Structure 1
Amino acid sequence: MNQKKIYFYPIIVLFFIFSIDKIACIPEFREAARRSYKPGQNILLGFPKVWEENKIRQLENQKIILVTGSSRSEILHEWEEIPVKPTTYNKPVYFETRSAVKASEYMLNYLLLKGMIDTGFKPNLMFIEFSEEMLNENNSFSYKTKWKELMLTEDQLLDIFPVFNPQYKLEIMSRLIFLSYNYHIRPIQGISNLIKGEKASDDLYFIAISSYLNKKRPFDPNHIGIEIDNFSPQDYESRIINYTKEIQDMMLRNYRFSDTEFGFLKKIINLAETHNIPTVIWEPQVHPYYQNLRKSITGGNLYETILLPQLNPNSKNIRTISLNKGNTNCKTYADSSHVSTICVPEIVDKLLQTAKDIPNFQ
């Protein structure tokens, strides 16, 4: 008789899990029992306000240029007003730089842009960063890290499902089948919060949502970096050699080309083409010391060998430019991986000059 009871235990456990999962479908319980938001989730949650702000700017006859990418793109955020040459572009323009997120990667970039389209906002032009580090499967800040931070909706999970490898496809299926797993439901916490009339803690939401609260910073001429030929031995050691080691350990360690990250970049390209968004995909300039090291690790120039073959040369929406080809006058660096913010006006001018060749750009 006792053995027969044992047979019922798995059924009881499954029934308990199934019951919790069904209860998790109730929005009030889910909001009380879910895990607290983490930085990646906060960014996605904060951007609808950003898109609404930009819709208003467009109604006021401003052209919106959206900037996405890592810290190499985030330097554009260091200029409250980026000067634009009238001979290059003579219309009122606003650079939306809050969408450039330090240590970001293509999955997060895609989710931001897809969310933007879903709200009905379409920028007049996009600057999309191409950096080889963002295509490293073993990057410390790859999609694997962001994936752990996110609680995505059913539509989002279905949308990104084809990009992933079998391991993560199984993970997505588990999240789709069990809502409680997707939202990390804690039953006792949920019951307690419901009794108190509270939701799961949102403290991190207000701390980490730099995408909305972090205002543009006025250009600071006192911190512009160092000219390439003017580094002291000490500065060269710290800013170039040692910083390169740090980046190598975090971004380039055990370099393996990521089909998943590249899949999200292709989805970004498809998004731009499908919605006729003029787009410049650009490769930021880095210090020659770091560039040579990176090339030895990644195996070559991925901008030419990986990116360009994916693009239609007759596209009415997309053009590309690499700033590592000696086509800028910028010789000032903050460190081995980033040019100085003083280079931003020239960077923007180069990208706008490239955009003028896009048929759908006005």
Structure 2
Amino acid sequence: MKSKPFLFYPVVLFLFIFVIDKIFLLPIFHDEFLQAGNSVFYFQRKVLRERLQKDPDVKEKKLTLVFGDSRSYPFSEIGIPEPHKKNWTLYNFSSPQGIPMNSYIQFQEILKSGITPDFVILSLSPEAFDDSKGFILSPFLRMGCDTDCIKTVWEDVPLKEKWYYLLDRVFAIRSVEFNLSLFSTRLKQGKLKEYKSSHNKEFQLINYTKGEYLMYGVQSNPIKKIKNDTLRIGNLYMRSYEVGTSQLLYVEKILKITKEKKIKTLVIWPKVFPEYYAYYEKFHVKDVWWNKVEALAKQYDANTLNWNTPNTCDLFNDASHQSAFCFVDQMKEIWTSYAEK
């Protein structure tokens, strides 16, 4: 029988790719390897914790911590109304697709450092509670959860996401979400230094203040553009909707801590564009999700605030995010009705 070495070519190719893939296990790709968007935010939140620990204002003023996803980026110290501003400092740890599991881990790390806030704003979006859509959990598991974190949350991670996480360990390039197009652009322009925070403008912008991000600062975008975005994210997040078990558990863990430590807490449901809210109505999100959140908050003496009601700010950057202009009056409402009450 004639030898057929070509049959081994796929095996050799696979082994070659597998070996090359292990390059992405090097520390340089995991300690500080900033691409764009998610990786910049998750790295900056680690830096922000270190800045918080060194901030002298924390000892002299009352401290507010904000946790949530991109819908709570604009919560900012500059929005605290007078005369309360001089007595408060605010750090915003909201993260891209910041699920409650991520908020809990960040909160625990801050508490372990010896810092206890006076007020916590926990911003929640119903999309984060749908365990059937794994892409919602993946940014946190890949970029915001180290070995100790994985040990803490592993039993509560849905089975499908455990499988994807194990694939990330086998194929390292998955875990860093390597953007070949961005690498090519930076290489051609001689900007490979932008993988480091010291040369990354996006990081510097986010790190300039205390975690807030005011990119949603437009007064309002054209309605046609927002309606197109409504269709896009509606198809992405709301083809179906079911409340899973993993994230409600971590909302409760956060609220249990704030009650035990007597930290004032406000749980917020950020407002979305009305036509996108129609998707929520289709799946009875208020009944199957928000009512459960309100019950948990009441159980642990926390306040709740649902901005998806009439006569609240109707300026939107896109279907999922209010304009930052809304947060001026919203911050005033929070401080007069909750933080200082």
TM-score normalised over the length of structure 2: 0.69
Q: Determine the C-alpha separation between the residues in 1 that align with 2:120 and 2:208.
A: 20
For residue 219 of structure 2, the aligned residue among 197, 209, 224 is 224
For residue 82 of structure 1, the aligned residue among 76, 79, 84 is 79
Q: CA deviation at 1:37?
A: 5.3
The aligned residue for residue 101 of structure 2 is 107
Bigger CA drift: 254-263 or 340-349?
254-263
What is the 5 A alignment of 1:195-210?
A: 204=195, 206=197, 207=200
The aligned residue for residue 351 of structure 1 is 334
Pair 314,210 (structure 1): closer, same or farther in 2 beyond 3 Å:
same
For residue 119 of structure 1, the aligned residue among 85, 107, 113 is 113
Identity of aligned residues (%): 16
Contact kept, 8 Å, 1:104 with 1:141, in 2: the verdict is: no
Pair 163,221 (structure 1): closer, same or farther in 2 beyond 3 Å:
closer
Q: CA deviation at 1:314?
A: 6.6
The aligned residue for residue 72 of structure 1 is 71
Deviations 1:65-86 (A, max 9, x none): 2222122211235xx7215043
Deviations 1:290-321 (A, max 9, x none): 21222213544445422122234572xx2111
For residue 310 of structure 1, the aligned residue among 296, 319, 334 is 296
Pair 299,285 (structure 1): closer, same or farther in 2 beyond 3 Å:
closer
| Number of equivalences | 290
The gaps in structure 2 that reach 5 residues or longer are 1-24, 174-191
What's the C-alpha RMSD, in Å, of the aligned pairs?
4.0
What is the 5 A alignment of 1:312-327?
A: 312-313=298-299, 315=301, 318-326=302-310
Indicate yes or no: 2:50 matched with 1:49: yes
What is the 5 A alignment of 1:1-362?
A: 31=27, 39=39, 42-43=43-44, 45-54=46-55, 56-59=56-59, 61-77=60-76, 81-86=78-83, 89=84, 92-97=87-92, 99-139=93-133, 141-149=135-143, 152-153=146-147, 155-165=148-158, 204=195, 206=197, 207=200, 213-215=207-209, 223-225=218-220, 235-239=222-226, 241-297=227-283, 299-302=285-288, 304-313=290-299, 315=301, 318-326=302-310, 328=312, 330-356=313-339
Contact kept, 8 Å, 1:139 with 1:250, in 2: the verdict is: no
Q: Determine the C-alpha separation between the residues in 1 that align with 2:68 and 2:338.
A: 18
Contact kept, 8 Å, 2:42 with 2:95, in 1: the verdict is: no
SS of alignment partner, residue 320 of structure 1 = strand
SS of alignment partner, residue 108 of structure 2 = helix
Deviations 1:18-68 (A, max 9, x none): xxxxxxxxxxx98589787572762453233132144x2122x22222222
| Structure exhibiting the larger radius of gyration computed from Cα positions | 1
The gaps in structure 1 that reach 5 residues or longer are 1-28, 176-180, 186-200, 227-234
TM-score normalised over the length of structure 1: 0.65
Contact kept, 8 Å, 1:65 with 1:127, in 2: the verdict is: yes
SS of alignment partner, residue 317 of structure 2 = strand
Partner AA of 2:122 in structure 1 = I
SS of alignment partner, residue 304 of structure 2 = strand
Partner AA of 1:237 in structure 2 = K
Deviations 1:193-241 (A, max 9, x none): xxxxxxxx99746247579624368979983116xxxxxxxx22211x1
